[in-house]
Amino acid sequence: MKTMLLVLAAAGSMVMAGGVGAADAGADLAKAKGCLNCHAVAEKKVGPAYKDVAAKYKGNKDAAATLTAKLKDGKGHMKIAASDAELKTLVQWALSAK
């Protein structure tokens, strides 16, 4: 019986890891790149909360391109040292914040 429960618990955590993979990748990267020193998802720190950024750009189809350019070229934001793929992950994660 105990073994059965362990098997079920292991299977359950695998399913969950799959489900939140994209959000985790964004959050981990934001931490690794130091974004979270100035930003948080839900509250204003040095920079705006990502959920406020997401709200501000809601319905703006150029949002991802605008923000990626801002971070990449350091226009209106400090320049971020990250690859294009990393910036894409970060921006998409920030824009999906709730």
User: Is the Cβ–Cβ distance between 90 and 23 less than 8 Å?
Assistant: no
Is residue 63 involved in binding ligand HEC (CB under 6 A)?
no
Is residue 96 involved in binding ligand HEC (CB under 6 A)?
no
Is residue 69 involved in binding ligand HEC (CB under 6 A)?
no
Task: Give 94's contacts (C-beta < 8 A, 6+ positions apart).
Answer: 26, 30, 39, 50, 53, 54, 67
Q: Which stretch binds ligand HEC (CB under 6 A): 3-11, 15-23, 28-36?
A: 28-36
Rule CB under 6 A: which of 73-92 touch ligand HEC? 76-78, 80, 82, 90
Residue 71 Cβ vs ligand HEC, minimum distance, rounded to whole Å = 6
Q: How many residues does the chain have?
A: 98
